Structure 1
Amino acid sequence: MSNIGNYIKLLRESKNYSQRKLSLISKVSNATINRVESGISMPDPDTLKKLAPALGASYEKFMAIAGYLTGENSANNHNYTTGGNLLLKEEMEAIDLISHIKDKNLRTWITDPSSIDYIVFAKKLSDMGIDPDFVYNEFVSRIMKKNRE
């Protein structure tokens, strides 16, 4: 399965859409959605343009994941909806890993944009030898303490 196919499937499932429902919303055929999600075919830019708003995603991010935006064009002209950050290599790897998670609630949480940002941040902390759970717990306890004051 391709990264773009994985990503589309994750977004679709996080919205509890069937392929048929996504087809009706996006005006992309059910067969095309199935082939893209299965990795049988690569979506063209027009298909991505129709799918992105139906899934609440950025067209530019879809284009980058699908490999249409590369090099200078991608880096200089396209920012994504996740705080203006460029699509990270870690995000691409995460999309592939997430597709293997069977628990639907966990997959829904993970595909939420704020969760993806946290997961990437936690991985960077972990790579630096810092326990991300400690940072998270410390952050939450300080916010709660501040709210009590």
Structure 2
Amino acid sequence: MDIGKKIKTLRLAKPLTQNELAGILGVSKSTMSNYERNISTPDPDTIIKLASYFNVSVDYLFNDGMDKPKDLIKEGNSYNTGKALDKDEWNAIYYYRRLSDEQRDYIKGQMIQLYQKSSSSNKS
């Protein structure tokens, strides 16, 4: 599925009109129409706004092999706040993805330890 179809699918799932989504993104309705028809591609700032608003990864928007949104935080999990990622969270993901597998494992272990420590202190 191309980026235009993905944008349209995400928009209709909300449900939003082209005009409403255009307002959210700060573009004109005709620009939004051009995105959905693959006449033009959103600039990087708009791509980030789209991914954040629809709570999908930027990779999902561009990767043809992904039929379903691959959310970083999946619905139904206890840690899902229902909020879009903020700038610090995006930066953390940006740097995390550039680490080696060994470094990622270390970071995950540290995060789990911090979470467990905070969970146990909150129960006390």
Q: Tell me the TM-score normalized by structure 2.
A: 0.47
Q: Tell me the TM-score normalized by structure 1.
A: 0.40
- Structure of greater relative contact order (alpha carbons < 8 Å, 6+ residues apart): 1
Q: Please identify which structure carries the higher helix content.
A: 1
